[in-house]
Amino acid sequence: MSPLLSPVRIGRTLAANRLVMAPMTRSRADADGAPGALTVTYYAQRASAGLIITEGVFPSAMGKGYVNTPGMATPAQLAAWKKVTEAVHAQGGRIFMQLMHCGRVSHPSLLGGATPVAPSAIKPDGQAWTPVGQVDFVTPRELSLAEIAGVVDEYRQATHRALDAGFDGVELHGASGYLPEQFLSSGSNQRQDAYGGTAENRARFMLEVLDAMAAEAGADRVGIKLSPEMNYNSITDAAPQETYTCLVDQLRGKGLAYLHVALFGAKFDYHALLRPRFDGAYLVGSGLTQASAEKLLAEGKADAAVFGSAFLANPDLPERFRVGAALNAPDHKTFFSPPTAQGYIDYPALATA
């Protein structure tokens, strides 16, 4: 049997296999940030994953960064997500919610006219996806110390709502150039206070958010995703190896469920640097095949493997790996489509292929 199909403990969660469904933005929520019936079906179809990590979910209205992305900031959003967790659990699955505050990677048209917030007032390159199409990013507003404490508490509140909605745990999105990584990275954080300057200070926001999430859920139901040197959304850091060593050294001893590291183009082997420093489950993602994932497990370089587009296109991915079946090819044109079934819940399982 493939080692990917053996059970593994991920914090408080006992996963039936070591195949984790990656968080993937699909832009199928309604204008108010609530997922609908299609999303219920989408996640339930993929409940055979050892663990599902949802698409990024904004913890507060100011955290929204893209049109038609879901939130966990209102009672209506909570009620909508509860239908998702109930459907996944009915199929025997386990599901964590990824909390994603986009910070400066947003636009006033997505925020009720408000200016996006960030650690420093530095405009990112690129454009925001808004209700009227792509629009240039704006210069964000620097958060005050009091406001930082408020954002940390918004993560805590969103964690509380996620648990009320039935989620098995929560993941902090600490990658892709969003607010936590904006604080962590020297290129986007030029503060001169306790949240800026040294790597220890720049890591402070992320660590405080994790502590707030753990206070609600228990640390063994909290994970974090990192992606060093991904350089997405204009993120740069002058000394990334030092920065991530500093951060992960401070994660040790917190009792977190997992560290999820996805590498996109980094030439340095961050897995070799970070895995020995972390004392929970270590999840590896980005561009894996069945063979490469099995090799990672066999060599002790990962506890579980995270698959993105393979799960998107193959709702029964564990079974396909078990029997050696061919995989459906993902349709990139429908990754971020309006809320329709095409390219979302119409990928065939083996029984109907």
Give the active site residues.
178
What is the identity of the amino acid at 319? E
270: left (phi over 0), alpha (psi -120 to 50) or beta: alpha
The pair of structure tokens assigned to 198 is 């040294």
Decide if 313 contacts 330 (C-beta within 8 A). yes
Q: What is the dihedral angle through the alpha carbons of 128, 64, 44, 259, rounded to the nearest 10 degrees? A: 100
Q: 10 Å Cβ neighbour count for 207?
A: 19
Decide if 175 contacts 18 (C-beta within 8 A). no
DSSP element (H, E) containing 10: strand 8-10
Decide if 296 contacts 308 (C-beta within 8 A). no
What is the identity of the amino acid at 94? R
Decide if 339 contacts 68 (C-beta within 8 A). yes
The pair of structure tokens assigned to 75 is 């009672």
Q: What is the dihedral angle through the alpha carbons of 252, 255, 261, 267, rounded to the nearest 10 degrees? A: 10
How many angstroms separate the Cα of 161 from the Cα of each of 22, 75, 97, 151, 184? 21, 8, 10, 15, 26
> Rounded to whole angstroms, how far apart are CA atoms 121 and 342?
40
Q: Beta strand pairing status for 304-307 and 281-285?
A: parallel
The pair of structure tokens assigned to 194 is 């306790």
